[in-house]
Every structure is written in structure tokens, then in C-alpha cells.
Amino acid sequence: MDKKSDKKRLFSDKCCSKDFSLMILGQTISILGSSLLRFALSLYVLDITGRADLFATIFAISNIPRLLMPIGGAIADRFNRRNLMVIYDFSSSFIVVLLFLLMSTGNPSIIVIGAVMILLSIISSMYTPAVSASVPLLIQENKIESANGIVTAVQALSDVTVPVIGGLFYHMMGVTAFVIISGIAFSLSAVMEIFIRIPFIKRRQKWNIIKTIFTDMKEGFVYAIKEPFILKAMILAALINLILSPVIFVGTPIILRVTMQSTDVMYGVGMGLINFAAILGALTIGFFTKSLKMKLTYRWLIAIALLLVPVTLSLMPFVVNFGYYPAFSLFMFGVIPISFILTLLSIFVISKVQKKTSNENLGKVMAIIMAVAHCTTPIGQVVYGNILESFQTQTYLPILLTSFTLLALAFVAYRVLKNDEE
């Protein structure tokens, strides 16, 4: 059975809008609960230790389980994805309840906090592929980009709102209140997910479940490598995350806070506008669906490279000497649309892969792409952070280098993707 007939058979008995809406609502509650908990625990660790380096280490270790996403993808392709989401959210709620009980008897150790963050990260690594693989089964093919935009917007919105909400209520309510809220959020999300109908066809198992999962993982890697389109999309996503993401996630905060010495207010305004641009890109992806094609990706890369020109100029001495606000305005003029375009490209690539991947491999392939992205992003961030440290007085040089690198990537993308059919 081919990919399209496979998915059409699954589409035949589903109710798109209701089930997708329930999944998004449940995910929103779950993500907000998880984000609030991570925020509160970070402040809690800093409060009791006064050591930012210790928390940074714990936080970094808690992100390692993201590499387990391919396992989560293989599981998502073998079991009912609705049931998996319910189990994952209830498991998160159970862990949070245990944390609450420990807090009720005394202050838990840093090791306990770290263990909780790692366990929740493991569950999240299992949860994410199940959600990503479910989207194409709950929405019509021509609306997949918009659906993925909503999923992305939910995460971006939490990144914007959680620091504000968390910072406002943490000292008033304390960490225990946030633990209770997150536990309720996970449970509520799980209850909502119970009522979702996600089409599922049980597949035969030749071996025990463990061997089956690892065999499926191997098949997923082979499938992703042998499918030319998926391989190209994965490499493109990895390179964009390696080259460009650090400019937004590492370069921007450093430039605003250290290079430009922005006040707390202006720093908040700058980061807020960038996050808003990402949310706007996620919510408006549907309007760009017809103009977004893989073989035309090079045009968007060229556009980003050109937008880095005003960013570069904003950091040059002759512009900086004009004063803070001209430099800040010129910098934001370039970075805001870059955040918008980067979000569009990310959602577009994910959506195209979802459309071209058979349902039985969808979870594995999505998990592999996300795992690759999660690997290249921190590498790029570390490298870019060190580069910026080396060019403290000439910050514009790394930005300019990034622009030229993107132009080179655009040329490669043009050559490699020009014959791809949509």
C-alpha cells in the first residue's frame, strides 16, 4: 500500500476538528504546566544554592534525554498514539505528586530536583513524537502547515508568557504552588486526551516488544536515509539549526545585553518582539503555503542573509556612535523578520516530511529529524557563543560571516533541490 492510500484509509473514519482541537488544548495545558514547573524549579535551585553554574549543569543534563526521541518515535508507530499521550501525561502528573510529597516533608535535595527534571524530560521526549505523528491523522492534508503552525505557536507562546507569569507569582506563591499547578495541568491534559480519536491500525510483531522497538528504530533510520526527500529535508533542517539558530537564541541575548548594554525594559521589549514574530509566523503559515516550495528554499535563505546586513551594520562603530536607539532599531529591523522566516521554514519542512512519510514510519522519522535538530542546535550555540566571546569588540564580524555562510547554503540548496517535485 502506498503512502497516500495508507493515510486516506486512516482519514475515512475520523473527526478532524474536534479531535485536533482537543489535542491542541490538552497540549497547551500540558506545555504551560511543564514550562511553569521548569521555571519555578530553576528559581528554587538558585534560591537554595545561590549557584547558577550548578543549575546550569542540572539543566544541561536534563536536556540529554531528548536524544531518546527516536525510541519515542518507534513506540509511537507501534501503539495507539492517543493512549500513549494519556499515559505520558498521567506519568508526569504522578512524578509531580511524588515531588509535592517530598516537599511537604522537607526541602528536597538538588539530586532529587535534578532527577525529577530528567524524568520529565524523558517523558517529554516520548510525548513529542506521538503528537507530531498524530497531526497528519487529525487534519486534512491541505491544512497540515496551519496545524503545525498552531502546535509551534503553543510552544512559542509558553516561552513568552511563562517568564512573565512565573516571575509575577513565584515569590507570592512559592515553588510548592507551582508544583501543584503543574500536577493539575498534566492530569487535566490526560483527561482531555482520553476523548481524542486518533486512527490506529495494529501491526504484527515478529519478536518481543524490546527487539521490535529497536528493529523499528533501525528501519526508521534506514527509511530516512534512503528516502531522498526526507534525507535532504533533515540535512537542511540540521544546517539551518547549526548556522542560523545560534544567531537568534545565543547571539541576540548577548548582543542586546552585553554589546548594546540594553536596560531591562529594552531587553524585554527586544526579546518579546522576536518571540512575537515567531508566534506570528506560526499562526500565519497557512497564508504562505502555496508560495513555500522546497526547491525555492534558497530564496528564503538569501532573504535571511540580506536581513543580516542591517544587523551587521547596527553593530559597527559608526552606527553605535549615533546612539543606542538607532543601533537597537536597525538591529531589530533585521532580527524580527528573520525570526518570522525561520519559523515559517521550520514548520514548512516538518509539514512536507509529514506529507511524504507513510503512517507506519511517521513517528520514527519525525523523532529522528527532531533529534538531529536538537543535536545540531546546541553545537551551533556553543560554537557561536565562543566566537562572540573572541570578537567582543567586533561583534559584527560573526554576523557578517553568518550572512556569507547562508548565501553559500542557499547556493547548495538551489543546486540540490532545484529538480525536486512538490
- Distant-in-sequence, close-in-space partners of 69: CB < 8 Å, separation ≥ 6: 125, 128, 129, 367, 368, 370, 371, 374
CATH number at residue 27: 1.20.1250.20
What pLDDT does 305 receive?
A: 93
pLDDT tens figures, 163-190:
667 767 777 787 888 889 999 999 999 9
Which three cell numbers, joined as nine digits, stand for 83?
Answer: 493512549
Q: Are residues 243 and 162 both part of a single domain? A: no
Residue pair 81/200 in contact by the 8 Å Cβ criterion: yes
Whether 411 shows a pLDDT value over 60: the answer reads: yes
Q: How confident is the model at residue 261 (pLDDT cuts 50, 70, 90)?
A: confident
What is the mean pLDDT of the segment spanning 212-216? 80
Q: Are residues 193 and 278 both part of a single domain? A: no
What pLDDT does 12 receive?
A: 41
Residue 266 lies in a domain: yes
- How confident is the prediction for the chain on average, in pLDDT? 80
What is the mean pLDDT of the segment spanning 393-422? 82
What is the mean pLDDT of the segment spanning 4-11? 47
The most confident of 119-123, 281-285, 331-335, 349-353, by mean pLDDT: 331-335
Whether 422 shows a pLDDT value over 60: the answer reads: no
What is the mean pLDDT of the segment spanning 75-88? 89
Please report how the helices 144-173 and 264-283 are oriented relative to each other, as an axis angle in degrees rounded to 10. 150
pLDDT tens figures, 344-391:
888 888 888 888 887 777 888 888 887 777 677 767 767 777 777 777
Residue 3 lies in a domain: no
Domain of 150?
Answer: 16-197
Residue 355 lies in a domain: yes
Nearest-10 Cα torsion for 42, 44, 49, 51: 20
Among 94-103, 261-270, 325-334, 410-419, the range scoring the smallest mean pLDDT is 261-270
pLDDT tens figures, 90-105:
999 999 999 999 888 8
Q: Are residues 178 and 295 both part of a single domain? A: no
What pLDDT does 13 receive?
A: 41
Residue 160 lies in a domain: yes
DSSP 199: -
What pLDDT does 8 receive?
A: 46
Q: Which of 162, 197, 232 is the last residue of a domain?
A: 197
As for how many domains the chain has, the answer is: 2
Nearest to 365 by CA among 136, 174, 179: 136
358: left (phi over 0), alpha (psi -120 to 50) or beta: beta
Residue in the block written with cell 473527526: 15
Q: How confident is the model at residue 392 (pLDDT cuts 50, 70, 90)?
A: low
Q: Which of 197, 232, 247 is the last residue of a domain?
A: 197
